[in-house]
Amino acid sequence: MKLAKLAYKMCEHRLACSAARHIVRSVRRLGGLKSYRLPLEALALDAPVAAGLMRLWQRIHWSSGDGMMPADELLNIYRLAASWPGKGDIVELGSWVGLTTSYLATACEVRGEGRVWAVDTFEGTKEGGESYPSIERFDGSTLEAFRNQVAKAGVKKHVSEMVGYTTEMAKQYRGAPIRVLFIDADHSYEGVRADFETWWPHVSPGGLIIFHDYMMADVARFVDEAVGQDGRVTCLPGSVVPNVFAVTKNMVMSTSVSLLALGPERHFRPSERNDSPSQHKGAKCQ
Ligand SMILES: C[S@@+](CC[C@H](N)C(=O)[O-])C[C@H]1O[C@@H](n2cnc3c(N)ncnc32)[C@H](O)[C@@H]1O
């Protein structure tokens, strides 16, 4: 038994070393560490996952560009999507110009399995019937920019578009059961709730649901009050950046399950929180 544990540790160590070597080599090739904020975090990736990231960074610039997400959040979402166990597809609610889509699709490429369903009106839809002002730069539609980005990232064959409102598209979804659901569309309480509820039946038991913009009061309110209380999900502790909140769909209603050794599994009990949602500094697992 001890021998098996030792062998496992050695194997883990070897993987980390090989990932580190790969990253250092790639970073050198890309012009040195100077412009990189991320390699230290990237060192925590397994070798194949790191290699996928490096491939992506050779095709598209690692910083967010026209996307809406800072690089550390992108990296965390990529890491989760690439390493979360199980089989199935990834659904992304809110794709904008395809930056997160490219990372999620790279995760599929690395795993050799699954695809990303990118769901968006591509009209810059925002809460309350408004639009993102920056949609004007895209003449009212980000679809072309989205397609260009996905093509540039070299992941076109792993991506399917679903053009329309997220809740409508849930009714039309014919993909595989969802291994990872990424929610980043309408950030109002009602919007997040509608996205969560309409897509919930498509998520595999044990699937991962990632909420972006947890620092926004409405998103946090939904996650804390609604999701936290009904026992359908378990919070994934400790391993994500504050603005990214991940939960797993429980295998059996009201029973939490340990899925990955990402840290000690804990129940999410919002009633024990002592900060108000509007003052969120980061996700908490109680
Ligand atoms: C914050 S942006 C997504 C950013 C993208 N995930 C990234 O980081 O690169 C939100 C996107 O969701 C879309 N959206 C918002 N509400 C929507 C809805 N109800 N149905 C479909 N798309 C929606 C918008 O058009 C916009 O492209």
Q: What digits encode the pLDDT tens for the residues 219-269?
A: 999 998 877 777 889 887 655 678 999 999 987 533 333 333 333 333 333
Label residue 142 by pLDDT band (50, 70, 90).
very high
Residue with tokens 């291994």: 179
State in Å: Cα 250 to ligand 1 middle. 27
- The closest-lying atom of ligand 1 relative to the alpha carbon of residue 165 is 20
State in Å: Cα 169 to ligand 1 middle. 13
State in Å: Cα 183 to ligand 1 middle. 9
What pLDDT, on the 0 to 100 scale, is given for residue 67?
74
Distance from C-alpha of 124 to C-alpha of 104, rounded to nearest angstrom = 20
Distance from C-alpha of 55 to C-alpha of 107, rounded to nearest angstrom = 11
Could you state, in order of their start, the residue ranges of all structural domains in the chain? Answer: 1-63, 67-279
What pLDDT, on the 0 to 100 scale, is given for residue 63?
66
Q: Which residue, by CA, sits nearest to atom 14 of ligand 1? A: 185
CATH number of 67-279: 3.40.50.150
Instruction: Convert the pLDDT of each residue in 72-116 to its tens digit.
Output: 889 889 999 999 999 999 999 999 999 999 999 999 999 999 999
What pLDDT, on the 0 to 100 scale, is given for residue 279?
39
Question: Taking 50 as the threshold, does the pLDDT of residue 275 lie above it?
Answer: no
First-last CA distance in the chain: 33
Contact 257, 232 (CB under 8 A): no
Residue with tokens 């969802």: 178
Structure tokens at 164: 């329309």
Buried b (16+ CB within 10 A) or exposed e, 59-86: ebebeeebbbbebebbbbbbbbbbbbeb
- Which of 60, 66, 68 is the pocket-test mutation for ligand 1 (most atoms within 8 Å of CB)? 68
State in Å: Cα 2 to ligand 1 middle. 50
Chain centroid, CA 93 distance in Å: 10
- The closest-lying atom of ligand 1 relative to the alpha carbon of residue 97 is 9
State in Å: Cα 176 to ligand 1 middle. 22
Ligand 1 surroundings by CB, under 6 angstroms: 67-69, 94-96, 99-100, 120-121, 123-125, 142, 165-166, 184-186
Burial class (CB in 10 A: 0-12, 13-18, 19+), 11: exposed
Sign for the CA dihedral angle at 121, 76, 113, 89 comes to negative
- The closest-lying atom of ligand 1 relative to the alpha carbon of residue 186 is 16
> Which pTM does this prediction carry?
0.80
Question: Taking 70 as the threshold, does the pLDDT of residue 135 lie above it?
Answer: yes
State in Å: Cα 126 to ligand 1 middle. 7
Structure tokens at 236: 């994934």
Contact 146, 122 (CB under 8 A): yes
